[in-house]
Amino acid sequence: MEKQVFDEKLQDSLATLMEQFWVLRSVEPEVYHQIRQREHVLKRYVADKFGFDLIVHQHFIKLEKIPVEPKEWMGIQEFTDSMDYAIFCCGLAFTERRSVDDQFLLSELTEDIHDMYPGEFSLNWTNYQHRKSLVRALKKMVNLHIIKAVDGDIELFAMNEEQEVLYEVTVYARYFMRSYPDDLFQYRSVKGILDSEWKRHEGDERRKRVYRKLMFSPVVHREKGEDPDFAYIRNFRNRLREDIEEHSPFRLEVFKNAAMLMLDERKQKYTLYPDQKGVMDVALHFSAVLRRDLENDAINDLGEVRLTTSELERILEKAVKEYQHGWSKQYREMTVTQLRKELVDFLKEWELLQTEKETGMLIFKSALGRLVGKYPRDYLEREGELK
């Protein structure tokens, strides 16, 4: 690929494409035109490094991002169960059969979704949970600009199934779903869909896998003794570092068992660790105590630490005694058990912890030891905590 120097606006455009599902011309005209002007450079770069398709349409721009493996955080965060997704897909099927600007009533949509719904049990709109699921699905469709509400409030449907809302199909309705190399009904599993993606990248699959992992994971861990993807990162780290730093604000850090992209200063466009959640303070302080008090023989060859729930709570108790004074009121008032549950969920979300299915042991990944937090000296002096 011809070498292209990315200026700040090119870096910003790439960040927007990576962070957003799509850029709509009617919603973000300046961002749309900024990307449109740099279309050819961006297309070449994302195709060569990631194997992604950049779709530039007169109404929107969309980077089709396909992960190496699906992660929990990649789902629609507003959804709470599989029913939400099923209803959402039925809603997409409904809009596929409608023309742009076609208006329809909520009652028409609910009847159609009821008939199409693939669940083991049929939908019943007198059931409050079913109505709430529909509300979540339709709110997401509106949020994505697949449909727009012309009159009425979908929230009222949750309280009364007789409520009506008037919707309109937008020009974006037919472009939400990506196209597949084969008929979707030929696939028997998610793995089959993901495997089909790599058929068109034979010869340079490894590089594209690595770029996708680095960009879409908080950290890339060495998963086993012989990990081909991680070996690629270590062997070509200088070339990767140069390319990533030229085309993005990130800096590549490679350790024995982990590799991650780092930012020297916070940029609001990106989803970053640490984030703004209160539990982040607990996580960073827990990590500091774990790193300080851990015996070297407790760390395996992959840099992982295995703890039982009771061992985790003992370490967390130390973090509470040392650092609790600076936490938000919500976390100061939690019991150790409550803190443990929230901390475990949070670290799993950031791929820093996993639970061993056979034993229930908690496996803390090596990167956690690189992410610790301590209070600054001036704060400790002011609070009288410095001895």
Asked if residue 367 and residue 285 are part of one domain, the reply reads yes
Asked if residue 84 and residue 58 are part of one domain, the reply reads no
Asked if residue 306 and residue 375 are part of one domain, the reply reads yes
Tokens of 385: 């905590």
In this prediction, residue 240 carries a pLDDT of 96
Nearest-Å Rg of the Cα atoms of the chain is 24
Q: From CA 68, how far away is CA 208, in angstroms rounded?
A: 9
Tokens of 386: 């410095």
Residue 361 lies in a domain: yes
On the CB side of 87, CA atoms within 13 Å amount to 29
Average pLDDT estimate for 291-316:
89
Judged against a pLDDT cut of 80, whether residue 226 lies above it is answered with yes
Judged against a pLDDT cut of 60, whether residue 387 lies above it is answered with no
In this prediction, residue 1 carries a pLDDT of 43
Judged against a pLDDT cut of 60, whether residue 386 lies above it is answered with no
Residue 293 lies in a domain: yes
The confidence band for 183, taking pLDDT boundaries of 50, 70 and 90, is confident
Contact 330, 352 (CB under 8 A): no
Q: From CA 62, how far away is CA 54, in angstroms rounded?
A: 6
Asked if residue 168 and residue 89 are part of one domain, the reply reads yes
Which CATH number fits the domain that encloses residue 165? 1.10.10
Strand order of the sheet with strand 362-364?
305-307, 362-364, 353-355
* Least confident residue range of 162-166, 269-273, 284-288, 324-328: 269-273
How far from the centroid of its chain's Cα atoms is residue 273's Cα?
12
Q: From CA 221, how far away is CA 49, in angstroms rounded?
A: 20
Asked if residue 54 and residue 99 are part of one domain, the reply reads no
Residue located via tokens 């780290």? 237
In this prediction, residue 32 carries a pLDDT of 97
Residue 193 lies in a domain: no
Asked if residue 122 and residue 57 are part of one domain, the reply reads no
Residue 219 lies in a domain: yes
The confidence band for 214, taking pLDDT boundaries of 50, 70 and 90, is very high
Q: Is the pTM of this model over 0.75?
A: yes
Question: Which amino acid is residue 345, in one-letter code?
Answer: D
- Say how many domains are in the chain: 4
In this prediction, residue 187 carries a pLDDT of 83
Residue 300 lies in a domain: yes
Nearest to 25 by CA among 3, 57, 53, 49: 57
Residue located via tokens 């449109």? 36
Chain segment 309-366, per-residue pLDDT in tens: 999 999 999 999 999 999 999 999 999 999 999 999 999 999 999 999 889 999 999 9
Question: Which amino acid is residue 257, in one-letter code?
Answer: N
Asked if residue 231 and residue 154 are part of one domain, the reply reads no
Peptide bond into 118 cis (omega under 30): no
Average pLDDT estimate for 296-311:
88
Residue 188 lies in a domain: no
Residues counted in the chain? 387
Average pLDDT estimate for 150-174:
94
Residue 268 lies in a domain: no
In this prediction, residue 331 carries a pLDDT of 94
Tokens of 214: 């680095």
Q: From CA 164, how far away is CA 78, in angstroms rounded?
A: 23
In this prediction, residue 343 carries a pLDDT of 95
Asked if residue 83 and residue 60 are part of one domain, the reply reads no
Asked if residue 85 and residue 126 are part of one domain, the reply reads yes
Contact 8, 39 (CB under 8 A): no
Backbone φ and ψ for 241, nearest 5 degrees, come out as -60, -45
Contact 230, 223 (CB under 8 A): yes
In this prediction, residue 3 carries a pLDDT of 52
pLDDT mean across residues, the chain: 90
Q: What does the DSSP 8-state code read for residue 345?
A: H
Residue range of the domain that includes 367:
279-383
In this prediction, residue 73 carries a pLDDT of 82
DSSP string, 78-131: T--SHHHHHHHHHHHHHHHTS-TT-EEEHHHHHHHHHHH--SSS---TTSHHHH
Which range has highest mean pLDDT (75-79, 198-202, 230-234)? 230-234
End residue of a domain, out of 40, 64, 88: 64
Residue 196 lies in a domain: no
Asked if residue 327 and residue 257 are part of one domain, the reply reads no
Cβ contacts of residue 149 below 8 Å, gap of 6+? 142, 165, 166, 167
Asked if residue 105 and residue 57 are part of one domain, the reply reads no
Chain segment 2-24, per-residue pLDDT in tens: 455 678 899 999 999 999 999 99
Asked if residue 247 and residue 167 are part of one domain, the reply reads no
The confidence band for 377, taking pLDDT boundaries of 50, 70 and 90, is confident
In this prediction, residue 385 carries a pLDDT of 64
Q: Which helix (H) or strand (E) holds 74?
A: none
